Structures are given as C-alpha cells and as structure tokens.
Amino acid sequence: MIIKKVELDNFRIYKDHNEIDLSLTEGKNIFIVSGKNGFGKTTFLMSLVWCLYGKQMQEVDDLYKKEIGDQGGYSKYIANSLNRKAGAEGKKSFSAKITISDAIIPELTCREISIKRTYHLSEGESIEVLIDGFENETVKDLAKDKLSGEEIFIRDYILPIEIAKFFFFDAEKIVTLAEVNTVEQRKNLSKAYSEILGIKKYEDLKDEYEDIQKRLRQLSASREEQAKLNSYEAEVRNSELAISENDQKIFNINERKDSLRYESNQLQERLIRVGNMISVEDLALLKEQDNVLSNQLKDITNELQESLEVIPFAIAGDKLSSVIEQVTDEVAYKTNSYKLSNIQDKADEIITDLITEQRKFDEVITRKVQDFYFDTISKLVKKHFYADVPDLSIDFKPIHDFSDSEYNELNAFIMNLKSSFKGKFTSLNYRNNQVKNELAQVRRRIADAEAVAEDAVVKADRERREMIEKEIIKIEKEASDLYVEIGKHRQDIEVKKRLIKEITNKLEASKTNKKKDDFLTDKIQKLKKYIVQFKERKKNSLEKEILNGLKTLMHKRGFIEDVKVSIAGEDIEINLFNGRGEMIRKDGLSKGEQQMYATALLHGLVAESEIEFPVFIDSPMQKFDEEHALNIVKYFYPTISDQVILFPLVNKEMSQREFKMLEPRMAKAFLITNVEADKSTFLETTPQEFFNTYNGLYHAD
C-alpha cells in the first residue's frame, strides 16, 4: 500500500489548494519533507491522521489528545483548523485528501482509493471514500450512516487505529513505549501489539466459529434452556449497548470538560495578572504541575478501578481456594486417567503376547491360574512402571473442565492475588492520597494568588471560575461513575457469556446439524492449536528482531544480551536482559537508550506485522548522538517500510552527511516554504539539489 498523493485545502497554514506527489520510483522508498519550525511539518503529519481518523485522532497519540484538550475539546480544536486568511476571505471549509495505490482489499479489486475528510463551519464534518473514483457498496454496507461506514472501512481495511501510532510517530516521543507505568497503559499497549502482530485476527476468527457453533447447538435446546439462553443473550446485548452509550457520554463529557477547562485557564491567567501575585512564567509552571498531577491522579484512579475488580476475589478467598483445588484435582484426574489408560494398554499388550505363548505350552493351565496371571500382570505393570500414578477415585466428578491455558491463567491470577496484590493496592492508596494532597496545595497557591483582587470585574471572573471548577468536579464524577458502570457491564457480559457457554457445551447438535457441528469443532480445535503455535512463532521472531535491532543500533556493546517476549492470554510483555541474565528496567534506561529500544521495537513490530503501510517519522534524528544517528540512517529508515516519509529539521535533526547516506534510497525531497504569515506550500526539489535549494532560500551557512 502506497500513499500516492496528499492534497490539503485551507487546512491550517496550508492556504488554498496544496498538493504533494509521493509516487515511488524503482528501488527508492524514502521521501524527505522539511521546513523551518512553524512552517507546517507537524501540521502536515497531523492532517494525515485527521483525514484517516477524524475525532478519534486523539486515540493515536497523546500529543493530539493534549492539544485538543488545551483548545477546549475536539469541536473547538477542529473548527480552529480553518486557515486564518481563508476565514477572513469568507471561506467556510477546509479538507485533507489522501490517494492510495497498490492496496490489497479482500474481495475488492481496485487500483486506487481516495479518502477525503472535509470540515464545514456550519455543516460539520464529512468524509468521502472513493474506490477507483466511485462510491462502493462494500463501504456503504458497513454501517447505517455514511460517515460511520467510511470510518469502519478505514479502520478495518486501511489501517486500524489501535496500531496507527506505530506508523505515525514522533521519533523523540516514542520513548513513551519504554515508560509504561500503569495497568491501563500496559493493557492498551498489549492490545496494540496483538493487533499489529496479527494475533487478534485469528482470535476473532476462532470466536466467530464458536459463535456459529453456539447458535447451531442452541437449536436443539429445550424450552427451558432456550429461555435461559435468550435471557442471557438479551442481557449481553443490553450491556454492550449500555457500554456504547456510556462511551459516547464520556466523550461528550470530556468535550464539555475540555471546553470548561480552557475557559477556566483563561480566567485564571487574567485573575493572576490582575492580582499581580506571581509572574506569567510562574503561572505556566503551576499549570504544568497541575496538569502533571491531574494526569497522575487519573492514572492512579484507573489502576484503583482495575483493583476494585479484583477485590471481590480477594474477599472470596476461601471459595477461590476451593475452585483452584478442584481445578488442580481435575487436571491431575485428567493426567492420571491418561496414564492409567497407558497402563491398561501395556498390560493388554503383555497379556496378548502371553496368550500367544500359552498356545505353544503343552500342559493344561486352569482358568483360575490364567485369571491370576492376567490380574497380576496389570498390577505389576503399574507397580514397576507407573508407581507414582494414583488410582482414580470412583466418586470424583469434574465440574469446571478448564483447558490448559485457562488453568495457567487461573494459577497466574491466584499467584498475583497472593503475592503482589495487597502490597500494590496499599501502595496505590498511599500514592492516591499523596497526589491528591499535592494537587490541593498547587490549586490552593493559585487560589491564594487570585484572592487578592476585589475589583468587581475580577470578582465576577473569580466567581465564574469557581463555578466552572465546581462544574468540572461534577462532570468528572459523572465520568467516573460511567467508567464504574462500564466495568460492571463488562463483568456482567463475562458472567453471562460463561453461563451461555456452560449451557451450550452441554447441548448436542441435532442430527441434521451434526456434521456442521463436528466440522466446526474440528476447525476450532485446529485454530486453538494454530494460535498457540502462531503466538510462539511470533514471540520467537519478535525477540530476534528486537535483539538484532538493538545490537545493530546501540554502540554500548554487550549491554543488552537477550530479549524475552511473553504472551499470556491478552497480555503481551517485552523484557530486556543483560549478560548476567538480570532483567533491565526499561524506565531506568537513559532517554537515548529508551529511544534506541523504542526504535528497535517499532522496527521489529512493523517487520512482524506484515502490514504494508507507509511509515511517517517526525523529528527523525532528535536526541540521537552521532554514532546512533548514523546507525539509524544506515540500518533502520531504509528498511522499515516500502515507503518512508521523514520530517527532519535541516542541520539540526538531519545533517548533510546523514542526508547523503540516505540519498541513494531517496525518491523525492520537498521543502515547505512559507510564502506569507498564514500560507505555506510545498516546493519539490531533487535530492541532489535539496541542500543548495535550502541554502538559497534561507541563506544558511
């Protein structure tokens, strides 16, 4: 998949129609798009993310999330993206358009796909996806309304939003991949890893087969069973609908909160300036401190909510112990059944041979003697070869029938509950109180600065801000309550799905559906086995890719000697080890080392993903020392994708030497030139003339 062309119309600093041609030339896959700070490099990258994902762009990168929050929510943020001069001239809309070629879409033949997102100040947002210049029924049929259908098509067939961060990234800020500190961050990253490695598509296929089998078996359910199944399925649908509604409510609440926070910050600045208590610089520091502490509190709250889901299990410790004891007994029972079956098989083989030999014996052997030897052989085989295998209890009955993976997950959960949960929960409570106190102190300092002014206008501003802050607290509580509701609904869904599975597993398909049921059982078992093998294969290859990347890029030889990837259920974790076999804490690495790790991780993930999508890299050489930068230029950028677009600052983030190293693989180079205050445009130049053109424009030394 190649991005052939990008077109921007009155989008931020790109006034009027601006077009950039990114067509490949044979054997050359790198494009340079450069310009001075403020000319539109980051805006160009952001236009691509907005074109693909619209209001969901804040899920791609925290940079967009913060910027949207700072401007008072997505609605205000995107409305402010109309070019100022175009707005002054009476223009009411702006757009971003991406044209894609060489896309492989299942069950759809196409040469070219164009995606155009438009925002009109009075009509709102719209999107148009054309396949070879025409609207396509495949896209239309994905959802009831056009906008949703187009966006589902982009997420399902072009680039899933969960993994977009690996294809659109700021090379300086990817260190966040090495700084995962919360359960929520780890969970989200695990989902992204699963998506990009292709694990999720096989898990989804297995779930789809299981759903079909479940529906087949339900056809043979009794009235009573069918009534229960219908009831449980209705509850699952209602819970899923409630989660969807709550997600939308939370989005609207966050939009409202961002808008109120923006207004509150404006009033705060005005109050402090009038009160003349602290400088604007001090205000900025306090605001940053407030923001950091607020984010910390949010992360801690999320972790506490995660812990609240585990507490019922800690309370029900005795029952949980009974469950694990029963499940352990069941596993032992299964194993012993298999071993005892082996004993009987061996005994039968010996007895068969003995009967053969008996026929050659001339003397008469009584039935009683014969029975004695046959019984004794079975006992002696068990005694001498399987002495450690206990006899099966006649009264024992399996209840749970866990698979090996389910048993391992239960064991891991119990171990976590026994070993680290209590200490972690205590620590979280302590951190929660500590951060709350620090946040209260910061806000008190700001409030003290505001309290000086008694002017009527100032008083009105202060009262308005106090009202806004109360409103923010109120809607944060609403959002928190909605998150709790979502958690409860998810728990209800899991419980009901388990009950549905229990009933369905007891059912047998009718005679007419028996062949279909057997076919599905076979496919599900094969898929389960394949998923285990696939995870193992991906685990091993990703370990090699990351380790090779680190050894190639890092100049500190012997520092990282091994990489281990663990995949347990939905959780994927990547750990680094030194030559002594000791685990290296990623958050303990220097910023440069973290960037090296994140770069090697990205390279490994993109290589293992088999997703053919261009990679866009902002600030490509930031924070790298000279040797690391040369390694990146030589080994990383030319091979990461079939199309790589770099956005460097000339001489700062890419030297002429580094540029020359990339030149043999460079298809095209562009300079973003600033024609006037509110207008930038693209100037194409050959790679060979790039620096001469740049120096001619800006008189650089």
The pLDDT, as a whole number, for residue 9 is 96
Contact 155, 182 (CB under 8 A): no
The pLDDT, as a whole number, for residue 419 is 60
Q: Is the pLDDT of residue 454 over 60?
A: no
Q: How would residue 146 be classed by pLDDT, with cut points 50, 70 and 90?
A: low
Greater model confidence, 393 or 18: 18
Q: For the residues 257-261, what does the mean pLDDT come to?
A: 87
- 459-512 per-position pLDDT tens digit: 787 788 889 888 989 988 898 889 889 889 988 998 898 888 888 888 887 888
The pLDDT, as a whole number, for residue 20 is 95
CA distance 231 to 222: 14
CA distance 277 to 452: 8
Helices 199-218 and 456-506, axial angle in degrees (round to 10): 60
The pLDDT, as a whole number, for residue 558 is 67
Contact 327, 361 (CB under 8 A): no
Q: Which of 245-254, 374-383, 434-443 has the lowest mean pLDDT?
A: 374-383
Q: Which of 141-145, 272-276, 374-378 has the highest mean pLDDT?
A: 374-378
- Would you state the structure tokens that stand for residue 647, as one six-digit string? 């956005």
Q: For the residues 659-681, what does the mean pLDDT come to?
A: 90
- 27-79 per-position pLDDT tens digit: 899 999 998 888 888 899 999 999 999 988 988 877 788 888 888 888 889 99
Q: How would residue 701 be classed by pLDDT, with cut points 50, 70 and 90?
A: very low
Contact 132, 110 (CB under 8 A): yes
- 426-447 per-position pLDDT tens digit: 777 778 888 888 888 888 777 7
Q: Is the pLDDT of residue 680 over 90?
A: yes
> Edge-to-edge strand order for the sheet containing 168-170?
168-170, 615-618, 644-647, 30-34, 666-676, 679-685
Q: Is 345 exposed, middle or buried (0-12, 13-18, 19+ CB in 10 A)?
A: exposed
Q: For the residues 369-395, what does the mean pLDDT come to?
A: 66
**Pairing between strand 30-34 and 644-647?**
parallel
Cα 335 to chain centroid distance, Å, stands at 38
Q: How would residue 197 be classed by pLDDT, with cut points 50, 70 and 90?
A: confident
Q: Is the pLDDT of residue 550 over 70?
A: yes
DSSP H/E element including 669: strand 666-676
Contact 510, 195 (CB under 8 A): no
Greater model confidence, 621 or 360: 360
- Global pTM reads 0.67
Residue with tokens 């990205």: 602
- For the beta carbon of residue 413, count every other beta carbon within 10 angstroms: 16
